[in-house]
């Protein structure tokens, strides 16, 4: 599970090669996409994207996200481009059949970032 940073993803693939399965957070992806849309449309598109990511199979999620991408293109090209960027990595859990078990827990990196922040607070105080 990583955020959208290209450098981190590149490093993971350099170290682990094709064995690396990268899952990008769907929460941040969704929020990045809807940020390009006018305020009145954001709740609707937030719900559409959330629903698509919660579909149980890769095929269903893939088809719905592709449909939403096509629907976005005439409305807002930047939102469509944001959705398309890294889209496959947002469906890794679907591809490996774990979306139903881990999809909610791993839809954002916030939990990991919180843990790392606490560790940094504690470790940063150790002199030796």
CA distances from 4 to 29, 73, 74, 123 (A): 8, 21, 25, 26
Q: Which of 112, 113, 115, 109 is nearest to 26 (CA)?
A: 109
What pLDDT shows up at residue 71?
Answer: 97
pTM of the model: 0.70
Q: Which of 58, 37, 59 is nearest to 48 (CA)?
A: 37
pLDDT tens-digit series, residues 4-27: 566 776 777 788 887 777 777 888
pLDDT tens-digit series, residues 34-89: 999 999 999 999 999 999 998 989 999 999 999 999 999 999 999 999 999 988 88
């Amino acid at each position: 599970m990583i955020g959208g940073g290209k450098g981190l993803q590149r490093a993971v693939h350099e170290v682990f090669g094709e064995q690396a399965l990268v899952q990008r957070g769907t929460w941040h992806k969704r929020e990045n996409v809807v940020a390009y849309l006018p305020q009145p449309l954001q709740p609707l598109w937030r719900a559409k994207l959330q629903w698509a990511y919660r579909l149980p199979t890769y095929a269903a999620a893939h088809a719905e996200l592709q449909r939403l991408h096509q629907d976005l293109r005439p409305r807002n090209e930047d939102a469509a481009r944001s959705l398309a960027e890294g889209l496959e990595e947002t469906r890794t859990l679907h591809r490996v059949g774990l979306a139903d078990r881990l999809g909610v827990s791993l839809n954002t990196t916030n939990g990991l970032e919180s843990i790392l922040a606490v560790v940094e607070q504690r470790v940063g105080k150790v002199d030796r």
